[in-house]
Amino acid sequence: MHTDLLQGLNAEQLAAVTWPAQSALILAGAGSGKTRVLTTRIAWLLQNQQASVHSVLAVTFTNKAAKEMQTRLSTMLPINVRSMWLGTFHGLCHRFLRLHYKDANLPSTFQILDSGDQLSLVKRLLKALNIAEEIIAPRSLQGFINAQKESGLRADRLQASDPHSKRMIECYAEYDRVCQREGVVDFAELMLRSYELLQANEPLRRHYQNRFNHILVDEFQDTNKLQYAWLKLIAGEHAALFAVGDDDQSIYRFRGADVGNMASLMNEFHIEAPLKLEQNYRSDANILTAANAVISNNAERLGKNLRTEAECGEKIRFIAAPTDFDEAQFVIDEAKSLQREGWALDQMAVLYRSNAQSRVLEQALFRASVPYKIYGGLRFYERQEIKHALAYLRLAVNPDDDNALLRVINMPTRGIGTRSIETIQSAAAEQGVSLWQAACGMGAKATKVGAFVRMIESLREQSGVLTLPEMMVSVTRDSGLIEYYQTQKGDHQDRLDNLDELVNAAVDFNPLESNFEVLPEHTDTSDPLFPVLAFLSSAALESGENQAGEGESAIQLMTVHAAKGLEFNAVFLTGMEEGRFPSEYSLAERGGVEEERRLMYVAITRARKRLYISMAQQRLLHGQTHFGVSSRFVDEIPEEILHKLSGSHNLFAHTGFSRSAGGRKTQVDKLPASMVQEYDGFSIGQNVRHAKFGTGAIIDAVNKGESARLTINFGKNGIKELDTAFAKLESV
């Protein structure tokens, strides 16, 4: 029986599973079988009477992981898994508070608020305190409360540095009072209340410290400050804390995860050295070589190297596509080719650093009729901020669109409450007119409604005069959407990036090549409004037409963050330009590049058999054409395992293509020499090499008599201004 349990474990896994009854940190690399180790460890302890079902506490980060462990355990041993304390941090704290509700000062019938319920309570609170949403946005207060709780801080322990902070802290205190009065707890409260109770109640703390002699934790690198403090309280001085994690996959700093907990654990639980699980059962050797090479550039890591008994496998394919459209087309062509070879679409994943990058990919997949699914997120045209912006655009060409008006009349918040909207709806029903017409009638009396009407009127005036891209810029700016997301507390960069990408979509859009057959017959294509109408129709059509149905095989699209824990036969890692991945925001943060490199490590190790890495030498950013250089992370992959499908040459020289107003590739005839702007023999967009700074792209230039001053993006070496009279540059 003993041997059955341990059968098939490698030497490292065996050492971890049979570790003596003392604390340990298991550094488990990607694909090294950590779930198996954790589960077998529990079974081993139970089978050898080192622990009972009641003396084991096992913590996971997701319900899915907890269920998987329960299922595996019940097949290993004839035990009642349900009586075991095995679950997520929130689930276990909920169980604890149900048992000790009196001590926790909670009613026996207390209810849990999910994120949506919590937001509703926050909105109700702000209304009761007579605080307008323009002064404190509900989501920002919600984020503030949760962040304080996850740091273990109540309102009375916070110091205000300015009037706004003082008001936020007062709202937090009032929020706690309301929750207490109504007998409800949010997710963060489950954790904090449990911690506070254990800390304050010594008999209860001793009871649990004596009960649990083995505590096992999964994904330990993702624990935050409060979770680690809670674990320490329950462990006391005697329990063996068996933590499994991978510091190289710590990518949730923005959620409060503290990779430093690993070093603290080793110090505070007297662990001399971590046990390492380095044998990978997922990926071919070349993929692991790439992952090891990239992550080795991080200084602050505990250190491990993945290895495999699998064959080298294929080299990693790298392409520097001329444009983002070419990059998307490359993904589609390769995916179709793999499908013809018998690879399943649902075993292919396209990864990107930020959500906004999905737009071009979705468009290309839609046009190629390739079914896709967005994993862990919404399709581009279904995202909240995109729907808001398009609703404004709809109103600019058709103000009688009631749905569009209801969507944005108070978004961003402008003080038009439910009562005002109901008044408009009643007036519209009585008069038999649209909501817009009713609002125009009210505008004189209701100043806030009047301001909204004037803003829409201004957009209407612009709609027949401005181009589609200009119109889109105007809509996102004049509506207040950009300012709203800029001033909201919390991380709204994704939403701003998506709005930016919507402007790019407008720049790329060619109305004559769109699906304008959905417009009324005899549509006048010379009408100034035609591009806007065609764009709106196209956006509606693309908003998920090709999203795969239930059970249908489809290529998976997702951010790298969403891909953690998943694996695929083929992975396409797109947008690998400096400033995109690593993101430009991370470059300015302390430890930001190391976090990005861990993210790259996660991305690489999602692939089993085949890994594609792609970049675009030219893409639209902020509605302007930008020239990119490959990410430093690509440069960190050993040359001998890279198969370069396309060299990085001067874009226009080797493709003969440029981006037209419609986003399609159009042939560039050999232009007369007089029309090609040269700067001492160089041109903007050209890739050059410098002995010290490496390869870069010329992004700006000025002629200076006999020489030229070039602005060059050298990727990880930064943007440099060089004079051709002194700098030795060669064309690449």
Residue 435's φ and ψ, nearest 5 degrees, are: -60, -35
Q: Which amino acid makes up residue 317?
A: R
Q: Which positions ≥6 away from 135 have C-beta within 8 Å?
A: 167
Give the three-class secondary structure for 30: coil
With 0-12 / 13-18 / 19 or more C-beta atoms within 10 angstroms meaning exposed / middle / buried, residue 248 is buried
282, 383, 606, 609: which one is catalytic? 606
Count other Cβ atoms within 10 Å, centred on residue 102.
9
The Cα 451–Cα 637 span in angstroms is 56
Q: Is 249 a catalytic residue?
A: yes
User: Kind of pairing, strands 85-88 and 111-113?
Assistant: unpaired
Q: Are 376 and 358 in contact (CB under 8 A)?
A: no
Q: Which amino acid makes up residue 360?
A: V
Q: Is 219 a catalytic residue?
A: yes
What does the chain come to in residues?
A: 732
Token representation of residue 501 = 């990408």
Q: Are 79 and 73 in contact (CB under 8 A)?
A: yes
40, 60, 249, 476: which one is catalytic? 249
- What would the 3-class secondary structure string for 63-104 be? HHHHHHHHHHHHHHCCCCHHHCEEEEHHHHHHHHHHHCCCCC
12, 34, 223, 383: which one is catalytic? 34
Residue 488's φ and ψ, nearest 5 degrees, are: -70, 140
With 0-12 / 13-18 / 19 or more C-beta atoms within 10 angstroms meaning exposed / middle / buried, residue 300 is exposed
Q: CA of 441: how far to CAs of 404, 433, 434, in Å?
A: 18, 11, 11
Give the three-class secondary structure for 120: helix
Distance of CA 223 to the CA centre of its chain: 18
Q: Which residues pair with 372 in a beta bridge?
A: 547, 555
Q: Tokens 């059970």 belong to which residue?
A: 551
Q: Are 621 and 500 in contact (CB under 8 A)?
A: yes
DSSP H helical ranges for 183-305: 187-200, 202-211, 225-235, 261-268, 285-295
Give the three-class secondary structure for 59: strand
By C-alpha distance, which of 130, 137, 128, 127 is closest to 164? 137
By C-alpha distance, which of 41, 32, 61, 30 is closest to 242? 41
18, 35, 70, 88: which one is catalytic? 35
Distance of CA 451 to the CA centre of its chain: 36
Q: Are 496 and 621 in contact (CB under 8 A)?
A: no
The Cα 218–Cα 244 span in angstroms is 5
187-200 and 225-235 helices, crossing angle to 10°:
40
By C-alpha distance, which of 168, 197, 24, 21 is closest to 99? 197
Report the run of H or E that residue 423 belongs to, with start and end. helix 418-431
The Cα 699–Cα 704 span in angstroms is 17
219, 246, 500, 542: which one is catalytic? 219
The Cα 305–Cα 286 span in angstroms is 13
CA atoms within 13 A on the CB side of 689: 6
Q: Which residues pair with 350 in a beta bridge?
A: 557, 572
186, 189, 218, 578: which one is catalytic? 218
Q: Annotated active-site positions, please?
A: 34-35, 218-219, 249, 606
